[in-house]
């Protein structure tokens, strides 16, 4: 009898399929057309110093750097196919980074601070954040603490006047919110608890007169015979990035909660759908690992699924299962849907061999990969 134990981790980064050793010195990789694709240096078999990626047209795509130990410094520049600077990350005085994103016109779009994550493998938002309209007027001003929106989130009209003040705690709307007319007069005010409207919301006309009072409980309007609803106002979402959302995880408040929910749901999905009889046919014992990478596109569909495993049968089954994942709510960045890459380790722990041969597979098709 055999047991398969699935361990799954979802990461918003793509890991290399294999750790290939490279000779020290310069490295170049080319497109099939012969056009240079990537160039850089290796030291002690690790990437080192400045690396560059190119589009198949020959236009520079990205410049990025590695330290003496092969770790990314985070410093980089990215360019469009037209040669325009899209984004940059440069060192900050506190040891972190300053990230900037630009419009196609070259005008500044976003600027915020980054620090290394706890495991030093990627960078997270920490400190001030500012976003601008294309005309240069400030759009959003906020603050992050260890990648979580915290404190006062401010939103402005494209003419410069403040429109919203919303209080956040640990990535969740918590506390007061206020909306203003362009003339500076208060339009409405209320409070949120755990991301939902709670208690009284007062609404005013453009000259300051109180015109309506609504009452909410856990985000739902409490109607009475005297309730007048002109229009329910949605509080804008302050977080600039939203991870893809797995069906059933929609009501969770923070990105971290939605990530964990997605990881849990995909773990269950894979454990249920993966054909475990393959392990018995292959005679596997002990710990086996499959690495799958895929993307969730702008429509929420899973695309570009690839896998790496000791046996081709395991690779094919992993691709089959991940391809059948349900459609999700796509990721968002700066108010637009984006394609998000993921890596997915599936770890098998087979406690014993299957006692009977599996006849649904052709033994001649078994190809172990070294």
Tell me how far CA of residue 27 lies from CA of 48, 82, 204, 294, in angstroms.
10, 26, 65, 27
Give the model's pLDDT for residue 332.
Answer: 86
DSSP string, 4-71: ----B--BSSPPPSS-----SEEEEEE-TTS-EEEEEEEETTEEEEEEEEE-TTS-EEEEEEE-TTS-
Give the model's pLDDT for residue 324.
Answer: 95
pLDDT tens series, the chain, 370 aa: 344 444 444 443 333 444 567 889 999 999 999 999 999 999 999 999 999 999 999 999 999 999 999 989 999 999 999 999 999 999 998 889 999 999 999 999 999 999 988 887 788 999 999 999 999 999 999 999 999 999 999 999 999 999 999 999 999 999 999 999 999 999 999 999 999 999 999 999 999 999 999 999 988 888 776 666 656 788 888 777 788 999 999 888 778 888 889 888 988 898 888 887 787 788 887 777 889 999 999 999 999 999 998 889 999 999 999 999 999 999 988 778 889 898 888 887 776 544 433 333 333 333 333 3
Give the model's pLDDT for residue 334.
Answer: 77
- How many residues does this entry show for the chain? 370
Is residue 262 within 8 A of residue 245, CB to CB? The reply is yes
Q: How far apart are CA 318 and CA 81, in angstroms?
A: 34
Burial class (CB in 10 A: 0-12, 13-18, 19+), 320: middle
Beta carbons within 10 angstroms of residue 48's beta carbon: 20
Q: How far apart are CA 113 and CA 94, in angstroms?
A: 10
């Amino acid at each position: 009898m055999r047991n398969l134990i699935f361990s799954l981790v979802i990461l918003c980064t793509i890991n290399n399929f294999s750790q290939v050793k490279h000779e020290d010195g310069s490295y170049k990789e080319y497109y099939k057309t012969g056009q240079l694709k990537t160039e850089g240096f290796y030291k002690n078999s690790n990437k080192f110093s400045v690396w560059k990626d190119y589009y198949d047209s020959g236009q520079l795509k990205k410049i990025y750097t590695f330290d003496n130990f092969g770790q990314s410094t985070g410093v980089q520049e990215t360019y469009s196919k037209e040669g325009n600077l899209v984004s940059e990350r440069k060192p900050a005085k506190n040891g972190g980074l300053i990230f900037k994103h630009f419009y196609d016109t070259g005008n500044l779009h976003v600027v915020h601070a980054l620090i290394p994550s706890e495991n030093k493998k990627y960078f997270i938002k920490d400190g001030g954040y500012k976003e601008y309209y294309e005309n240069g007027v400030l759009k959003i001003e906020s603050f992050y603490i260890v990648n979580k929106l915290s404190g006062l989130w401010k939103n402005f009209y494209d003419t410069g006047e403040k429109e919203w003040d919303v209080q956040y705690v640990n990535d969740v709307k918590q506390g007061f919110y206020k909306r203003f007319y362009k003339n500076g007069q208060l339009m409405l005010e209320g409070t949120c608890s755990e991301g939902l409207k709670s208690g009284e919301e007062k609404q005013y006309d453009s000259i300051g007169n109180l015109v309506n009072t609504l009452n909410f409980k856990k985000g739902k309007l409490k109607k009475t015979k005297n309730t007048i609803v002109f229009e329910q106002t949605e509080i804008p979402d302050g977080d600039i990035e939203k991870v893809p959302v797995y069906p059933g995880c929609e009501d969770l408040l923070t990105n971290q909660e939605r990530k964990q929910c997605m990881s849990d749901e995909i773990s269950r999905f894979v454990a249920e759908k993966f054909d475990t009889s393959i392990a018995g046919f292959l005679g596997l014992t002990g710990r086996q690992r499959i690495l799958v990478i895929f993307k969730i596109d702008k429509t929420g569909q899973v695309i570009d699924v690839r896998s790496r495993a000791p046996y081709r049968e395991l690779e094919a089954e992993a691709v089959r299962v991940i391809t059948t994942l349900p459609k999700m709510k796509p990721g968002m960045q700066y108010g637009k849907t984006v394609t998000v890459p993921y890596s997915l380790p599936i770890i098998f722990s087979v406690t014993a061999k299957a006692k009977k041969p599996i006849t649904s597979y052709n033994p001649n098709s078994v190809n172990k990969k070294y």
